Structure 1
Amino acid sequence: MGCSSEQRYAAEPGEQTVAKLHTQLSVEMDYLLYLPEDYGRQNRQWPLMMFLHGAGERGSDVARVTAHGPAKLVSQGADMEFIIVSPQCPAQSWWPQETAALGALLDQIVKKYDVDTQRVYLTGLSMGGFGTFALARTYPERFAAIAPICGGGEPLLASRLKDVPTWVFHGERDNIVPISRSREMVEAIKKAGGDVKFTVYPQADHNSWDQTYDNPELYKWFLSHSKK
């Protein structure tokens, strides 16, 4: 059945009117959730860390997310002072394409758990490093600090990160994601007046994440920052 002219057109031809799109985002994403050992025993809010894995952990088996990073550490019994959410990227996707879904996941975690919204942190490796830059650029007001590892971003949009403390990590010998991808982001954030640190591992190749996530100083640095 055809539509009437009133149904097909928002206005008469040659006119411009104001309209509004109203829709709800429907997303589905598996994730791992870690709660500190003392969660629920203390009347307090907890810092939240979101961890974004690399391309090799995509798919529908969420256990693969424990291969690296904070998700690996807590799966091995580490006790960490954060609520940690570690989502799994769909097999055919890429973290920078999933910023809306990740934002919705943050909303859900904040609503459901005792999260200190002034201390929400973001980190990721390789594809997750790209995702860290992309998600923080999309929602800079949400994060107290970010730590992208062997990733990259959009230098032309780096000004959106100028108020987000950032610690970037990369291996000098990385032959998968060139260190230039991190360098250009660091320089762009500095140029915008941002607070950025850059750690280069001279002997490291693409795996610059093990020594980063094994370093207690990273977590101390996160906890030293809260949103103003």
Structure 2
Amino acid sequence: MRHIKKTFKGNYELEYLLYLPEGYEESNKEWPLMLFLHGAGERGDDINLVKLHGVPKVIEGGEELPFIVIAPQCPEGLYWDFTVLQLEQLIEGVMSELRVDNKRVYLTGLSMGGFGAYALASYRPDLFAAMVVICGGVAYAKRAELIKDIPLWAFHGEMDNVVPVEKSIEVVGEIKKVGGEPKLTIYPDKRHDSWTATYENTEVYEWLLSHEK
């Protein structure tokens, strides 16, 4: 994965990893785009931390994914909720610079990144064809109305002692109340790390690709 540093409006810098799928350089086709948001432990200025978990770990382990993947790093002391404007600029910049299928832009995140995924999706629900959120939650129930039309598959460990499983149950319940049809998978034997099993499951990527705007 390539390490890129980009400066946004207001002289705000954001570093991110970029993955181009096999065959990108050899063809003129448009590719699905996936934005991955890491958890709180990977914040800072060491981009290698982003490779420790989730989609970047899968790629670093040698798996080939049929997506363009962007994995930004949240600065120390901040949360993804505070960077939605920069994330929006990052996505739109990649969409304009690379051959992206605009109908297949996907969003995923774990823990703090799961909260960030809900925040970004509620800010720009028009961008995303589907989202996978792992051990996340929302700060405001009203966000359910904003994201109800985005296909959602949420995952959580029933024994999570960092982000209670009730957070995902609440999100899914609120979205159902306003007419959405989210999916929820609860791992009965897992604690906070419900992301390793999820991102190693090929069905997750197939499910994302089954959706387009």
Letter in 1 for 2:167: R
2:68 to 83, 96, 116: 83
Q: What letter is aligned with 1:224?
A: S
Residue 103 of structure 2 corresponds to which residue in structure 1? Answer: 118
For structure 1, list consecutive stretches of 5 or more residues without a partner in the other structure: 1-23
Equivalent residue letter for 1:130: F
- Cα-Cα RMSD: 0.9
Q: C-alpha deviations, 1:50-108, integer Å up to 9, x for none?
A: 00000000000111100011111111221110000000000010011111110010011
What percentage of residue pairs aligned between the two structures are identical? 50
Residue among 121, 130, 147 paired with 1:136: 121
The structure 2 residue matched to 1:196, chosen from 175, 179, 182, is 182
Aligned partners of 1:101, 1:44: CA distance in 2, in Å? 27
Give, in whole Å, the separation in 1 of the partners of 2:143 and 2:193: 27
Mapping of residues 18-167 of structure 1, within 5 Å: 25-153=10-138, 154-167=140-153
SS at match of 2:88: helix
User: After TM superposition, what 4+ stretches of structure 1 lie above 2 angstroms from structure 2?
Assistant: 24-27
Paired positions, count: 204
* TM-score between the two structures when normalised by the length of structure 2: 0.94
**Is 1:208 aligned to residue 194 of structure 2?**
yes
SS of alignment partner, residue 71 of structure 2: strand
Secondary structure at 1:51 match in 2: strand
Once the two structures are TM-superposed, the CA of residue 27 in structure 1 deviates from its matched residue by 2.6
Q: 5+ unaligned residues in a row in structure 2: which ranges?
A: 1-8
Give the TM-score normalised by structure 1: 0.88
Instruction: Please give the alpha-carbon distance, in whole angstroms, between the structure 1 residues aligned to 2:197 and 2:25.
Output: 31
The structure having more radius of gyration, on CA atoms, is 1
The answer as to 2:155 corresponding to 1:177 is: no
Alignment of 1:226 with 2:212, yes or no, is yes
Kindly provide the amino acid, as one letter, of the partner of residue 190 in structure 1.
K
Measure, in 2, the Cα distance between the counterparts of 1:33 and 1:198.
Answer: 29
* C-alpha separation in 2, matches of 1:26 and 1:138: 22
Partner SS for 1:59? coil
Q: Distance in 1 between matches of 2:189 and 2:179?
A: 30
1:157 deviates by 2.0
Distance in 1 of aligned mates of 2:100 and 2:146: 24
Superposition deviation, residue 176 in structure 1: 0.2
